[in-house]
Chain A
Amino acid sequence: MGMRERIIAILVNNKPGVLSRVAGVFGRLGYNIESLCVAETISPEVSRITSITNADSDFIDKVKKQLNRLVDVLDVTELVPGQSAQREMILIGINLDQKGRTEIVRSIGLFDCKIISMRNDYCIIQVAGSREEVETVINFLKPFGIDKIARTGVLALRYKDSVS
């Protein structure tokens, strides 16, 4: 299959040091984590880690087996596009001049995003959506002069009835 983005969801015990063990497995196998999102689940003693890695097709098998060796890892699942909902949120800080300010306010409604802070010379925009949607917004905003960007990384959940 060659190199492509692989999303995996890892359920772990919500304890100190666990993330470092998980990240250590990726590093030891020579994989870079492109995005990573960690937070507790509905049960506070369990955390969900969602990560993206650009990797070959043997990645899932290798990383899954090594992760499962960790005592604090409860479950490892690959999330395949088409069988899972995938969303990312981004905050984008933009330096504004008068012209840009008007244009951004006017065109922002075309996209599914929000202005969450607006000053004379600076605004912060919140974008949430699929990978493609947020990339479109970033590309649109680039000419206005993006100052900073913060991304959650992709979050994903498998559709209920899909079986892997």
Chain B
Amino acid sequence: MEKTGAEILLQTLREEGVDVIFGYPGANSLPIHDSLDESPIRHYLVRHEQAAAHAADGYARATGRVGVCLGTSGPGATNLVTGIATAYMDSTPMLVLTGQVTTELLGSDAFQETDIIGITMPITKHSYLVSDPGEIASTVKQAFGIARGGRPGPVLIDLPRNVMAAKCEQSGVKNITIPKKRNARRKKDGGELQRIANYMNMSERPVILVGGGVKLARACEELTGLIEKGNIPFVSTMMGIGSVRSSNGFNLGFIGTHGNELANRIVHDADFILTVGARFSDRSTSIVEEFAPLATIAQIDIDPSSIGKVIKADISLVCDIREALTTLTPLAERKGRGGWLSRIEKERNVLGKDRSMKECGPAGAFIRDVQTAMPEETTAITDVGLNQIWTVRSWETRTPRGMITPGGLGTMGFGLPAAMGVKIGVPDHDVVVFSGDGGFFMNIQELATISYYNLPVKIVVFNNGHLGMIRQIQDLFYGARFNDIELGNKVDIVAVAKGFGIEADRVPVEDPGAGIEKMCAAGGPFLLEVLVDPDTYVFPIIPPGRSNIDMIGGRQG
């Protein structure tokens, strides 16, 4: 039977399990929208394409499925770019569909034409320009395979309007295999895991460093098993938070610039570090030469390019993390590690058990109060800035997908649209997004989307009238010259929210009173503006160019 390119596209998306697309139509994507009403796929109309990409990203992070966004050619496509880069940095599986001018106009500077494949080349895993409707089904299937496979990431398909409108005899597409590398002997374990186990068993002060790859590999249970069998304390990168419940007794916190002091100090003292699914970003390691100076480092990752890129591991293995841990755990000896663990406990007590509360100031206490008031299965999303650090430090993650944060790219404006995607992906979970006033204003238009679809998202906006994290950096490292960071307090955020049709309230951070309960009780979306003193920062902090134990606001000596 003859079908249009658009119909084949939507049918193939269905076959790949897609139920939701976040998008914004334009002239060159119209054939797709024209066919959407006959498809069971639901389309959510956002108010700016950047939000479509972030929503698809949030959806993917919350569900583990591939998120799909759709924009038209030209500005529609370029508006997606920040969202694609965010997904790329954090390895989110995502399919990006863009309309394109007709094939005969390609390269003619036609109205709303951009070379989106060229623009997104460094921030996609792969991209396709489809020039024949007969290729659509196989292209889409390949794209899903690439987006999900190995280290996941965004894949873009550029779809010229005439190809979407053209009719074509649809022959059933068999399962597509992704072309294999000639040298891709996917490295089988050649004894590395036994060697890693030997190091681990012999080490006196081992630590496991957990990255975002553990969640992507769905290896959280396996990892918890290894930690508990070997009595091995663990630290996370920011992206690794949630892989193991944060209440786990072996949890030392997360490392790096804004990380927990305990985590940074213990990594510094460790004699063996097993790194799983982490890429040693500069935010995690600070000065590379001074990172874990005493440790033998083992690294397991699915992505060969993450191995040896920043830190030369003493022993490494390219492997699916779940497979690796399944083999490794039986090789790990049950050890008491009394000396090491009691040393860590001592350090923990010296640093003060409740210090992370003080380090995040009243905002940390506020976030804890919100969590207490919300159901167990609540997903927290952060924006970027102080709100992000306060949240990842104060929110207790109970499930692998319970905390969503744009760690790699640090995209302000991520929170609100990502929260929409999360809520649509896991409608049974309560969803709360913590944002600052800066990031909130960057995608404030999405209040309209949330209101239109009546998405019951709880929105917390910490308002200090400034770009708080930048203010802290200026305060500490730029002689307190507060240039260009004051947002002011002239905007009545509560009135703005109400104008969008969203219930809202305003409370001071120290004394939220009934504000939190009111937010939690709301049946629909609710915005809580939380007034914060601009001098409220986050401590400790590692100055640029210093090592992870050389922090401001940490313990002395």
Complex contacts, A74 vs chain B, CB 8 Å: 179, 181-182
Q: Please give the distance in Å from B442's CB to the nearest CB on chain A.
A: 27
- Please determine whether B308 and A71 come into contact, CB atoms closer than 8 angstroms: no
Q: Are B178 and A71 closer than 8 Å at their CB atoms?
A: yes
Which residues of the other chain, A, contact B184 by a CB distance below 8 angstroms?
68
Question: Is A24 interfacial (CB 8 A cutoff)?
Answer: yes
Name which of B118, B126, B178, B305 has the most chain A CB atoms within 10 A of its CB: B305
CB distance from B248 to the nearest CB of A (A): 33
Within 8 A of A (CB), among B113-151: 117-118, 121-122, 125-126, 129, 146
Evaluate whether A20 and B121 lie within 8 angstroms (CB atoms) in the complex, with A11-B182, A71-B126 already known: yes
Say whether A30 faces chain B, with CB atoms less than 8 Å apart: no
Scoring A17, A66, A71, A73 by chain B CB atoms within 10 A of each residue's CB, the highest score goes to: A71
Q: Which residues of A contact B122 (CB under 8 A)?
A: 24, 28
**Cα-based distance from A69 to B307 in the complex (angstroms):** 13
Whether B179 and A65, one on each chain, are in contact in the complex, defined by CB atoms closer than 8 angstroms, is: no
CB atoms of B121 and A75 under 8 A apart: no
Collect the chain A residues with CB atoms within 8 Å of residue B182's CB. Answer: 11, 74-75
Q: Is A151 an interface residue (CB 8 A)?
A: no
Q: Quick one: given A11-B182, A73-B181, A75-B183, are A68 and B305 in contact (CB under 8 Å)? A: yes
Determine whether the beta carbon of A68 is less than 8 Å from that of B304: yes
Task: Judge whether B334 is part of the interface by a CB distance below 8 angstroms.
Answer: no
- The answer to whether A65 and B309 touch across the interface, beta carbons within 8 angstroms, is yes
Judged by DSSP, the binding face of A is mixed
B5 vs chain A, min Cβ distance (A):
19
Q: Does A76 sit within 8 A of B, measured CB to CB?
A: yes
| Residues of A17-76 whose CB lies within 8 A of B | 17, 20-21, 24, 28, 61-62, 65-66, 68-76
**Residues in B neighbouring A76, C-beta threshold 8 A:** 183
Contact indicator A24/B121 (Cβ below 8 Å): yes
Tell whether A13 is near chain B: CB-to-CB under 8 Å: yes
List the A side residues contacting B117 at CB < 8 Å.
17
> Bound state CA distance, A17 and B179, in angstroms?
17
Residue of A nearest to B127 (CB): A17
Question: Which residues from chain B contact A24 at a C-beta distance below 8 Å?
Answer: 121-122
**Residues A71 and B125 in contact in the complex (CB < 8 Å), given A17-B117, A20-B118, A76-B183:** yes
Cβ of A75 and Cβ of B181 under 8 Å apart?
Answer: yes
Interface string of B174-203 (1 = CB under 8 A from A): 000011011110000000000000000000
User: Smallest distance from the beta carbon of A11 to chain B beta carbons, Å?
Assistant: 7
Residues of A within 8 A of B126 (CB): 70-72
A93 to B307, CA, bound (A): 48
Among residues 489 to 533 in chain B, which have CB atoms less than 8 Å away from a CB atom of chain A? none
Contact A71 B183 (CB under 8 A): no
Given contacts A71-B146, A74-B179, contact A65 B125 (CB under 8 A): no
A46 to B346, CA, bound (A): 62
- Chain A: number of interface residues, binned into ranges: 20 to 34
Complex interface residues of chain B between 287 and 329 (CB less than 8 A to chain A): 303-305, 307-309
- Closest chain A residue to B307, Cβ basis: A65
Q: Which of B121, B129, B146, B179 contacts A13 (CB 8 A)?
A: B179
Contact B121 A68 (CB under 8 A): no
- Report the Cα distance A66→B129, complex, angstroms: 22
With both beta carbons as reference points, the residue of chain B lying nearest to A65 in the complex is identified as: B305
CB contact between A66 and one of B121, B305, B307 (< 8 Å): that residue: B305
Instruction: Give the docked Cα–Cα distance between A24 and B126 (Å).
Output: 13
**Interface 0/1 of A71-103, CB less than 8 Å to B:** 111111000000000000000000000000000
Listed residue (A24, A28, A65, A70) with the most chain B CB atoms within 10 angstroms of its CB: A65
Against A, the Cβ 8 Å flags (1 = close, 0 = not) of B158-184 are 000000000000000000001101111
CB-defined contacts of B129 to chain A, threshold 8 Å? 16-17
Give the complex CA separation of A68 and B303 in angstroms. Answer: 10
Instruction: Report chain A residues within 8 Å CB of B183.
Output: 68, 75-76
Residues in A whose Cβ lies below 8 Å from that of B308: 61
For B118, the chain A residues whose CB sits under 8 A away are: 20
Compute how far the CA of A7 lies from the CA of B551 in the bound complex, rounded to whole angstroms: 45
Q: Which residues of A contact B121 (CB under 8 A)?
A: 20-21, 24
* Cα(A9)–Cα(B68), bound, Å: 36
What is the CA–CA distance of A138 and B42 in the complex, to the nearest angstrom? Answer: 67
Name the CB-closest residue of B to A28.
Answer: B122
Task: Write the chain B residue with the least CB distance to A46.
Answer: B182
Q: Which residue of B lies closest to A21 (CB)?
A: B121
Q: A75-B183, A76-B183 are in contact. Are A65 and B304 (CB under 8 A)?
A: yes
Q: Take A20-B118, A28-B122 as given contacts and tell me if A69 and B181 are in contact as well, using a CB distance cutoff of 8 Å.
A: no
Cβ contact of B305, chosen from A20, A28, A69, cutoff 8 A: A69
Instruction: State the Cβ distance, A76 to closest chain B Cβ, in Å.
Output: 7
Question: Would A71 and B305 be within 8 Å (CB), given that A20-B118, A24-B121 are in contact?
Answer: no
CA distance A61 to B178 in the complex (A): 24
Hey, which chain A residues are within 8 Å of B178, CB to CB? 71
Q: How far is the CB of A49 from chain B (nearest CB, A)?
A: 14
Note all chain B residues with C-beta closer than 8 A to A28.
122
Contacts of B125 in A (CB 8 A): 69, 71
Expressed in whole angstroms, the minimum distance between the Cβ of B117 and any Cβ of chain A is 7
* Residues of B with C-beta under 8 A to A16: 129
Closest CB in chain B relative to A13 CB, distance in Å: 7
> With A and B bound together, what is the CA distance between A66 and B309 in angstroms?
10
Question: Top 9 closest A-B pairs, CB basis?
Answer: A65-B305, A75-B182, A71-B126, A74-B182, A65-B304, A75-B183, A69-B305, A24-B121, A66-B305
A residues adjacent to B (C-beta < 8 A): 11, 13, 16-17, 20-21, 24, 28, 61-62, 65-66, 68-76
23 A-B pairs with C-beta separation under 8 A: A13-B179, A16-B129, A17-B117, A17-B129, A28-B122, A65-B304, A65-B305, A65-B307, A66-B305, A68-B183, A68-B184, A69-B125, A71-B125, A71-B126, A71-B179, A72-B126, A72-B179, A73-B181, A74-B179, A74-B182, A75-B182, A75-B183, A76-B183
For the complex with contacts A65-B307, A65-B309, 20 further pairs of A-B residues with Cβ separation under 8 Å are A16-B129, A17-B117, A20-B121, A21-B121, A24-B122, A28-B122, A68-B183, A68-B184, A68-B304, A68-B305, A69-B305, A71-B125, A71-B126, A71-B146, A71-B179, A72-B126, A73-B181, A74-B179, A74-B181, A75-B181
